[in-house]
Every structure is written in structure tokens, then in C-alpha cells.
Amino acid sequence: MISSSFWRNKRVFVTGHTGFKGSWLALMLARLNAQATGYALEPPTAPNLFDLARVGDVIDDIRGDIRDLASLRAAMSASAPEIVIHMAAQPLVRASYEDPVATYATNVMGTVNVLEAARATPGVRAVLVVTTDKCYENKDWVWGYRETDALGGHDPYSNSKACAELVASAFRSSFFAGAGAARIVTARAGNVVGGGDFAVDRIIPDAFRAFVSDHALHLRNPRAVRPWQHVLEPLTGYLMLVEAALDDSKRIDGGWNFGPGPASEQSVEALVTRFIEAFDSSARWTQDKGEHPHEANLLRLDTARARELLGWSPLLDFGETVEWTARWYRALADRRDIRETTFNQVDAYLGQRVRLVSPFSGEEGAQAPLQRQA
């Protein structure tokens, strides 16, 4: 559960708020009545969720590059946050092959700059650095990777995120270890789906573009298995992690995994098949026989730590995850109001996740049950 009283009027500085996950997080923070400031480059695609859902209306929107330390420090200092959530990144594996230097500059030195800016900003109490499930040294194990397993990465993107984890650990030990120092935690999640993702070389955005153009979707590796989860699931975990990090009765630090249960570990083919059923039954896919960079066939996270210590667990099963996603893209294809569509899904999800404080009793209680048909 997320505490409504914790987030009300909290000053939050979010990097990467113009991206896919960042836009969803900004809308969640708005619903939780936080005072959020976003710092990011222009939205990375056209179209994009930030513009479609008019996210700039609910967050103090600042354009800036995390590679520019002076600009970042000035923006963070001016907003005087209590909480920093670092999500800005170069997030694509194939793009990291094309430009490894920019990938490392953004994902590694960008993280250094965020932590350095937080160190220089009085009043920061917690910093969350978001990385990825791909930060682990992937050995194609059949069991889930635990937070204590070795970091690594075959490609520049994955490796840069492992480096970001090491940067966070070094800053935690070197500069944030004393009494009263801000807490630094990292979050690892991957294979997130949901409305508003338009990145190149991701399955659902590629499927949407193909299907609305009446083309077949070309899949590189339809048998690859991934732990699919809706974007709202790990974002909720991030918020719960921040709450726990600021609870003095708990010693919360280090890395945390957020992933779905075994039933949501499905093949790419299963994902696309379910998406077609909910979006357009006449759509089709074929297998791309060309040569492509290395991709793991299986990557699974062990989420026992988050489940046991944070009380976090997924709400949506695999079918619901795909259905919510397909409905969002169907609304876009049908030219419905995307701001309303997106907020409806946020509200339906938070309806099960948020503890509200009663204005009459001052006691916390759960909202109404999750509306499955959002």
C-alpha cells in the first residue's frame, strides 16, 4: 500500500519525467498530491505520453540534461526536494550498440551528477536510482536473480546500468553513511509494458505502429521468455521503497527487485497474441530471420525481498496487464482523450494501492477495490 499522507505536499525531484515511465510516475504523484518538479530533455519520441496526457500541467516542467552538472545542481537546489527519483536514462539495448559513448555518459556519469547534486542540496532525505533487471550478469539461469547476485551486462546498456548500481553503492558508502544522511536505494525492474510507450525496437510500440498501418509485426525472437508487468506495478514499488527508506524504524538500503509472478513469465509470442486479441483480432505477426545483437532467452528476478520487507506484490495478472495496455492503444487509435484514458487507469490502479486518511477520524484505510475494467 502507498500512504496518501506520506506523499501529500512532499517535494519530489524527478529526472526523466518526459519519458514513458517518468510520465506515468508524474501522473501518480499528481494524484497523490505531491509537489513534483521534473528535469529532463524533450520527450524522446513523437508522439509521446508526456504530450498526449498533458503531463506538463501536473508537474513543474524543467528542460535539462543530467550530463550538465551545473544546470542540474541549480534546478535541484531551486526546487528544494526532500526526495529525488532518478529515472533519466538512455534505455534501449540496440541504441547502446549504436552509440555506446552516449549511453555510458548518460547512464553512468548522469547518475554521478544526480547523486552529486543531491549531496549539494540541503533537505534531500532520500534518493532512488532506477536501473534495470538487465544489470545482473546474465547466465540464463532458470531461477530468479537476487539482489546479492553479481552485476554485469553483455551490452553497453546493461553494463552501464550495472555501473550505475556501483556508483550508487560508492556514493552511499562515501558520502551518505553518517547519521542523518540521505538514504540511497536502487530499483531494478524490466520488460515493462503499458500505454504511451513509443520507443523504437520495443515489442508493444512496434506492434501498435505495425497494426495501425495494416502491416505485419516482425518478431526477432518470439520464443524468448520475459517477466512482463504493467508500468504501474514497479512504479508503485518505487514509491513504497521511498516510504520505507524514510522510516527510521527500518534499515532500508541497497538494491531492490520488482517483477511479476511466475504466471507472467511468458514468451514474446504469447504477449503479442494476447495483445492482438484485445487490440485488433485481424492483426498478424511474422518471424524476422535476420541477424541481430545478443539477447538473453530468459531473465527472471527474485522479488522475495520486496514482497517480504516492503509488502509489495503485483496486482495485475498477465492477461490484465496486456488488456490494460491494449485498451490504452485502442483509445489512441480511436482518437479518444488520452489524458482521461491514462488518468482512469492510474485511478483504477491506485484505488487498490493507496491508504487514505479519513478527514473525520484521521485513521488510514483502503480505497475501493481495483476496477478491473479500466
In a domain, 326, yes or no: no
334-to-325, 327, 373 alpha-carbon distances in Å: 14, 10, 18
In a domain, 329, yes or no: no
SS3 319: helix
Query: Other CB atoms closer than 10 Å to residue 160's CB: what's the count?
Result: 27
Q: Name the domain count of the chain.
A: 1
Q: What is the pLDDT of residue 293?
A: 58
In a domain, 223, yes or no: no
Q: pLDDT of 145-180, one tens digit each?
A: 999 999 998 899 999 999 999 999 999 999 998 878
Q: pLDDT of 362-372, one tens digit each?
A: 344 444 333 33
Block mean pLDDT (10 aa), the chain, length 374:
94 98 98 97 97 98 98 98 98 93 98 98 97 89 89 93 97 90 93 95 95 95 90 97 88 91 93 97 88 64 94 95 98 97 96 63 38 36
DSSP 301: B
The CATH number assigned to the domain holding 181 equals 3.40.50.720
Task: Give the global pTM.
Answer: 0.92
d(CA 362, CA 257): 33
Q: What is the pLDDT of residue 288?
A: 79
In a domain, 49, yes or no: yes
Neighbouring-strand partners of residue 123: none
In a domain, 20, yes or no: yes
d(CA 13, CA 79): 7
In a domain, 277, yes or no: no
Range of the domain at 73: 2-190+229-260+294-316+339-355
In a domain, 123, yes or no: yes
The string of DSSP letters for 49-92 reads HHHHTTGGGSSEEEE--TT-HHHHHHHHHHH--SEEEE------
In a domain, 360, yes or no: no
